[in-house]
Structure 1
């Protein structure tokens, strides 16, 4: 809907729409915004209309926008029980001397990565400096127009010199068939569902990937087009390759065909990883069980690495080799997370979880019991564990793993069938 469909009105949050239309030239150069979630809290009808027009702009196609009538206090109340989005836009008429005090309850419940834009009534330079010094991304003096809001968002998330938006999480198995892909897929679904965060799941196992089967999808194109045509890779091309699995989860599927050899050099996946970091808050990378230059590069550059292992001798050896190698190529990063899977399989000799982890000198973040019926039903129906039985202990384990790898929880000693009570420092959002 164009601006001429709106009543021309001047208010605290909105100049007249004639000027708004004239100033639209100011944003013609802006690129489309990445996949981010934005919550706006509006005190006036003026800003409410401005945000509605923002939501209709072509640059906001990939943005999940929620517009709320409410104050800073309402935002703090909402986010005390739900995860904060990538960006919060707040309108306030509070005086400068009281504003920091009013923001304190919201600051207490905000994730560290959440950005905040404040639209206020006072053209006060000391206030502006104080807000920026305390982590507010931008302060705009009302009245504002749609170009003001879009430009402010773009300055945070589209600026080429800005830090990458996203966080990458790589899953790899210590051995083939240990369930690393299943963990990656359930974790990606969990992050998108629990936190209403836009997630891209990239299946890097081009010849044998199973993400398309596990999500019951049959996309005509996917990751191979991105890897074999890096010169074409941009935001628009990436959008064409993604398949929507749920409201907040998109899949970059593997072809799962043997019609060509899949030999890659060390940097083959770097253009893809860079554009994912720029366009999605969370990228989950399903890395196949092989050791090549390109897998080393992917694992070296990921923000988090999760190793899945089964408690037997071959997995113990491979997990140790993986951990030792990752220490060398990631010397300044924290240790990878270890998940023990398929524990307690009937009639199979196993190394006890305690002995397995003592040998590696690492605590597991999750111990998942063998459950052929639950996992088999999920795989055969193209659904995730929590969709099959959301009350199952394994579903809760995946939920807590999603909290851990996104930085919403600190790890403690795992218990069998779960992560234990690991919702300490940051608290569960």
Structure 2
């Protein structure tokens, strides 16, 4: 495994796309295992990794995000939020978190939420003289809510890898998602004083009523999707299709969407989906080779042999996830470390749903941590804000998210209460 690790580090530092980094590492590892017959399995493992019915919801959520971006939904949500809380200092910042929650319940993706917020919120914050690094860091961090508030692409993939109920994961993510939103709002509260953020428009009941009616179609979409999943009306894949339909109907209602936009939307969505599935496919090669070499069992035995303290083992796993998240893309990290950490979690008595939520949130937080923070790159590219500035400004949001995740890790009821209430566990 040593040569494979060296190959992984060199490929990663060399800037090779993460999908191919995973493939190269897998090939080097297979070459070390000393069985030439294993090379004939590579192509099969690539395609079997992608050929999973549970993953079919991913392209739907990506298309929904593209349609939402083109349909003007976010601007209507912004108008409603400003009329509701505009009279508070820093109202635009609080509005960003609120809108991120709504978008998260439709799109299920951090990159989609952050890219849409960038296109709408950055110009508005510039008008009100918000510090650009704070604006960018807030938007990138709000993107974290995308894979936590259901429906979530990340939870879908963890479910595929672990055989844990995806509906239970969706419902288990509701309270953690709300806690993260409250945590980010707390950071905003202190930033209001630090940066002397401006007050928005004065409160006007007539304006509020008008903006609410206009925004109602967009506000109803997440309730339809999440409610449909909670009541068992939709499967995750069907909820993705409903998200696309809802985004299309909202775009038509707001008269911003045109059918001529569809070809470009489908092309962009296909490229994004292809990138994700390449990571999954090539990652399945190294995942298979590690399983054949019994590496997950060796790591599990080493940790459980070091200590039997549940508290200490949870802290070790969280520390490992922080380090892993700083170096690896979330999907590839999930593929490699789900078979390593899930057996450890179950061995110390953690509920698989509870572990899955904590595991996914930790890797989601990594999306805004350097050097591989994908959402930071997306936010920087769209907003034209320096990546260096974003990396520094995002620290308070990351710190709060880590503290909240630590609390969630030791208070399983925060995850399991709703699934138990709905009797889906």
Q: Going by fraction, where is helix more abundant, 1 or 2?
A: 2
TM-score of the two chains, using structure 1 as the length reference: 0.27
Instruction: Return the structure number with greater relative CO, CA threshold 8 A, min gap 6.
Output: 2
Q: Going by fraction, where is strand more abundant, 1 or 2?
A: 1
TM-score of the two chains, using structure 2 as the length reference: 0.27
Structure number with larger C-alpha Rg: 1
